[in-house]
Amino acid sequence: MAANSLKLHFGTHKAGPQGTHYIWIDPPWEFYGPNGLIADSSYPGDDRFKEWSALFAPINESVLERWTVPDEGGAEFYFSDGYRLTLDAGYEARGDDDWYGHWYAAVRNT
């Protein structure tokens, strides 16, 4: 986590903590669990960062089961055990001239 941007690592069982792939997500986003909203991208400040970061512990060992990219823009990432990360919070569909993507996936260069 970098301030309130998220970096989800994948392939850590093969390559260590940095993994082999990652998804970078910029705000705004919302993180849901089986019982509703757990956290959103509102930065809690440096004094509460560790406590706030711990809210994401349930997906440390989980599986990204699927994702969707609605026509309206944004994205939704669905994890095992009923966790979900949503990036819709007012995004509009990207136009051809929109240079900034609020999330992307990449393969780590090893």
Q: Each residue of 3-33: pLDDT tens digit?
A: 788 888 777 666 666 677 888 888 889 999 9
pTM score, whole prediction: 0.76
Q: Which of 42, 8, 39, 12 is nearest to 25 (CA)?
A: 8
- Structure-token pair, residue 38: 């757990």
Predicted local confidence at residue 100, as pLDDT:
52
Q: Where along the chain do its domains lie?
A: 6-107
Q: Each residue of 26-67: pLDDT tens digit?
A: 888 999 999 999 999 888 888 888 898 899 998 888 888 998
Q: Which of 7, 60, 62 is nearest to 29 (CA)?
A: 7
CA distance 107 to 6: 16
